[in-house]
Amino acid sequence: MPKIGEVVDRIHELEKNRKSTAEFLKDEDIKSIDSDVLMENCFLKETDQRVLPENFSVCGVDGGIIKKQYSGVDVVLSRAVASLFYFSGGKLEKSMTIPRNLISPDVQYIESPLDVRNFNLSSSFIRLHKEVSIAIKALEEEPDMLLLDGSIVPQYAERPEKGSEARKFYDELIEKYETLFEKVISGNVLLGGVIEDSRSKRYCEELAKQEFIPEDMINVLENTRDTNMLEYLMEKGQRTSVMRYAKEYEKHVVLNDIGEKGKRVKNFYLKTAKDASPIRIDFLGLDDPIETAEKLSEKLVPLCSYSSTYGIPSVIVEADQRAKLSEQDLKRFESKLSSVIGPMPGLKSLRRNTRPF
């Protein structure tokens, strides 16, 4: 096992190489990138506008979840909230939430106890279903832009097995996404998903393929997350080229299940705050995906201007604060349950959670 000093030295070496590679890329003054993943023949682009339109409304959606496996039943508590901000002359004029009052979390019982993997999958599907449902409800208020906390598509490489409890939740979730996309397109609403800590390496991998990249820097790029490298390269207000969400949409499980509208899903990185890492924006392209990306960028930067170190749109921060759940919510639920039905074998905590040592 390496000693702490060796680990520190290795981290220093990695960051030194990444910084050196970033300095090389800056010095190259790159005007174009040859790639079948990037949809624009450019490296970085400036955001044209950094002030919100005269009259503008935006909705942010987030959800909270807390779950527990008992000896005879699995339980998921979930809540989702949509926060709507209305701006006039670039200033916040009013706000509202859906639902209007803070509500107790919904309780989902999974009667057939699942293995840990399927329980985690099912829990995640339940949360996303809740969030997409509230997003669809919020569209009735006709916002100009709808932002989700996280991607606008589920992040899974494989479908759950047919006939499984998790597959039932998955199929219901896909139907919800189809409905959301249909309503966004028909209403001409900007739809973006804000990923605050992306682990993707696709942008760096495309850079590594360019002929002008020295051989010793190829390995650095291939083993660096996009946000890590782009933090050295980007200035506030800049975005990367729009990227295809998948090189082959037909082979992407989730997008293929969503159907033709899944081919509209693209993404890009945007630097929204001076001292924060860039965020990844997954979005649904409307008539022109490049134009959609431009419109999103123009509005996202001013929505993040409240902080120079965080860089997440304020409307999502508001939704997060209202939707989050804690262990206290679970304890309140357990207390209510036990007061009504008393002790019961199926509601015993798992042995590993009640060890006396």
Q: Whole-angstrom Cα distance, residue 105 to residue 102?
A: 9
Confidence of residue 351 (pLDDT cuts 50, 70, 90): very low
Q: Give the model confidence (pLDDT) of 116-164 as tens digits.
A: 788 888 889 999 999 999 999 999 999 999 999 999 999 876 788 888 8
Would you say residue 43 has pLDDT above 90? no
pLDDT for the residue 342: 58
Identity of the residue numbered 316: I
pLDDT for the residue 156: 77
pLDDT for the residue 130: 96
Residue 236 and residue 271 in contact, taking contact as beta carbons nearer than 8 Å: yes
Number of helical H runs and strand E runs in the chain = 10, 11
Mean per-residue pLDDT for 28-41?
86
Of 342 and 291, the one with more pLDDT: 291
pLDDT for the residue 319: 97
Would you say residue 9 has pLDDT above 90? no
Q: Give the model confidence (pLDDT) of 274-300 as tens digits.
A: 999 999 999 999 999 999 999 999 999
Would you say residue 99 has pLDDT above 90? yes
- Residues found in the chain: 357
Q: H/E/C letters for each residue in 189-246? A: CEEEEEECCCCCCHHHHHHHCCCCCCHHHHHHHHCCCHHHHHHHHCCCCEEECCEECC
Would you say residue 113 has pLDDT above 90? no
